[in-house]
Structure formats: C-alpha cells, structure tokens
Amino acid sequence: MSESCNSCSAAGTCTTDSCSSEPQVSEAQKASHVGKVIAVMSGKGGVGKSSVTSMLAVSLRHQGYKVGVLDADITGPSIPKIFGVTGRVGVNNTGILPLKSRAGIQIMSLNLMIEAEDDPVILRGPMIAQLVKRFWTDVIWGELDYLLIDLPPGTGDVPITVFQTLPVDGVVIVTSPQVLANMVVRKAIKMVRKYQPPIYGLIENMAYVQCPDCTNRIEIFGKPKGQEEAKRNAIPYLGELAIDPLLAELSDAGKIEDYPAPAFDQIAKRLTEQVMLTVISS
Ligand code: ADP
C-alpha cells in the first residue's frame, strides 16, 4: 500500500496494488497541515481516556506545540466540556472551523454542532463512523504539530473507520489497574496491530492515590500492572497517573488547562520521544 492510500476512503478494504487515481483531497485538507495524528484508545470506558487525551494536549501545548483534539467519541463526547469550550463551530467555503480552547488547542466535537450539549446523538454505527471521517476531511485544522483523536472505548465502528481511513501515525493506549486485571486491553492492542499503526505506548491512569497527609501511595485497586502489561505486549510504557480529585473537579468545571501537570508533562515528553524514535526507525 502506498503512503497516499492512507487518506483514501477505500484504504483498508481496497485490494488494488497500484491505484491510477489520486485520492481525493478536500479543500479543508488542502488548507491543513497536520504533523502527527495520534489516536488515544482504551479497551473500556471510564478509565480516563478523555481526561488523559485532554491533558496530553495541554502538556504538548505547554511544550510549545500546536495541538488539536478530534473528539471521535460521538455518542459520549466530553472534550468540549472538559475544556470549557462552548458555542458552535464555524463554517466557510473551505470547510468547518474548529473552536479554540483558552490555551489555543483546536477542538472539534459533534457537541459543538448540536443545539444543546445534553441532546442525545441517536445515530447508527455507519452514520457515526461517517461523521468521524468528515471531522478529518471537512475540518480546517490548519497548521498542527499534533492532532489527538479521542476514540470511543472498545474496538467498534469508529476505531475501525479511524484506522482504515485517517492517516493515523500511532496509538496511545490508556488503561487503569482494574481494567488491566482482565483482557480488554489486549483486545485493543490486537486490534491496533491488525491495522498496523505503531503503538507509542501505554499509560496507566488511576494507578494510586497519594495520601494527603503523608508520602504514602494508596494502591486502592491493587498493585499497578501497567509496566508489566506493556512489557508482555512489547510496547513502550509511558507512565502512571494518580487518582486526583482536583483533576476531576477541574474537568467538571471546564478548567482542565488550570491543572498543574508535572506527571502529564513527563508522559507527553516520553510520547514525543516515542514519536521521534518511530520516525527514525521507519
Ligand atoms: P473515559 O474517557 O475513559 O470514559 P473520562 O476521561 O471521561 O473516562 O473519565 C471518567 C471520570 O473519571 C471523569 O469524571 C474524570 O474526571 C475522572 N478521572 C479520570 N482520570 C482521573 C484521575 N486521574 N483522577 C481523578 N479523576 C479522574
């Protein structure tokens, strides 16, 4: 498969060795230049995937990168709320204009297109997958170093569409100790391997609670298993994150960009190193 096939709508299903027609590139795509597209995935909901995606975006922004977040969790979108971004995306002759967070992170979510944020999205799988595809083809992302895609949990229609039709450079797996106790993470990893983007690494969220009165770590879900699981699957381990009530509080208040984030900054740094290593070794 040639590199240009990545942006073709038939990528992944096409059986032709050499394609005579160039893939169609939309006006919005022509007006955009996205450095690296990173999909953030979890085997199960509730592990903090959207929170981690958002904080990775914030940390990358702190490091001076231009960052966007594509909220592909169409039926459970939480990215605009976490960033406190409200209103509707703009539209011009070229495409859709995402909204910007206070720190300048570009955000695209179906919740920025509907009447009220609590309106349910009642769509079947293929329609949802089509929408996600259009968040790539019809959105004017402009100049970005990193576009993070917040995938819905699991291995359903949307991850399939994203891996087949978007030029995903690599994947980050988010998990938590309870989830690592079963096999769903391995399912997600196996799915990624089927579509072949490299896995930049695994992040274990909610690994422990820091005692507020002493230096003890309280491992309420038992010993963190992220490092072991990463090793078992031969993928990099990007780090662990504590359960921190302040993170939940600021997310609920739409102020995630105010979260003091040394742990996230370190993880984001390791992520950029993995991205570089993958470029060098490919
Ligand atoms: P997912 O995207 O995996 O469904 P979310 O990111 O929506 O998960 O997180 C689920 C809930 O857990 C949210 O209320 C969020 O604020 C909270 N949460 C996530 N990570 C943490 C953390 N490290 N510390 C405290 N609360 C967290």
Asked if the model's pLDDT at residue 23 lies above 80, the reply is: no
**DSSP class of 139:** B
Per-residue pLDDT reduced to its tens digit, 205-229: 999 999 988 989 999 888 889 999 9
Residue nearest (by alpha carbon) to ligand 1 atom 23: 243
CA 223 to chain centre: 26
The two structure tokens encoding residue 119: 């309106």
Q: Minimal CA–CA distance to 242: which of 269, 263, 214, 213?
A: 263
Q: Residue 158 C-alpha to ligand 1 middle, in angstroms? A: 21
Question: Closest ligand 1 atom, CA of 244?
Answer: 24
pLDDT number for residue 263: 95
What's the gap in Å between 126 CA and the centre of ligand 1?
A: 27
Q: Which atom of ligand 1 is nearest to the CA of 248?
A: 16
- Give the span between the Cα atoms of 137 and 254, in whole angstroms: 28
Closest C-alpha residue for ligand 1 atom 17:
248
Q: Which atom of ligand 1 is nearest to the CA of 53?
A: 6
Count of CA atoms in the C-beta half-sphere (13 A) of 113 = 16
Confidence at residue 125, expressed as pLDDT on a 0 to 100 scale:
80
The mean pLDDT of 243-264, rounded to a whole number, is: 96
Mean pLDDT of 1-29: 64
pLDDT at position 221: 86
- Which is the closest atom of ligand 1 to the Cα of 206? 23
Atom of ligand 1 nearest to the CA of 73: 2
User: In angstroms, what is the span from residue 251 Cα to ligand 1's centroid?
Assistant: 8
Domains, in order of start, for the chain:
25-281 (3.40.50.300)
Q: Which residue has the higher pLDDT, 104 or 77?
A: 104
* CA torsion angle 203 206 208 213 (round to 10): 130
Q: What is the pLDDT of residue 30?
A: 94
> Hey, is 156 helix, strand or coil?
coil
Q: Whose CA is nearest to atom 26 of ligand 1?
A: 248
Measuring from each residue's beta carbon to the nearest atom of ligand 1, which residues come in under 6 Å? Answer: 42, 45-51, 78, 205-206, 241, 243-244, 247-248, 251
Task: Return d(Cα 27, Cα 277) in angstroms, integer.
Answer: 32
Residues ≥6 apart with Cβ < 8 Å to 75: 120, 121, 123, 128, 152
Contact between 79 and 113 (Cβ < 8 Å): no
Q: Is the pLDDT of residue 163 over 80?
A: yes
pLDDT, residue 104, reads: 98
β-partners of residue 40 are 150, 172
The whole-number average pLDDT for the span 77-88 is 95
pLDDT of amino acid 235: 96
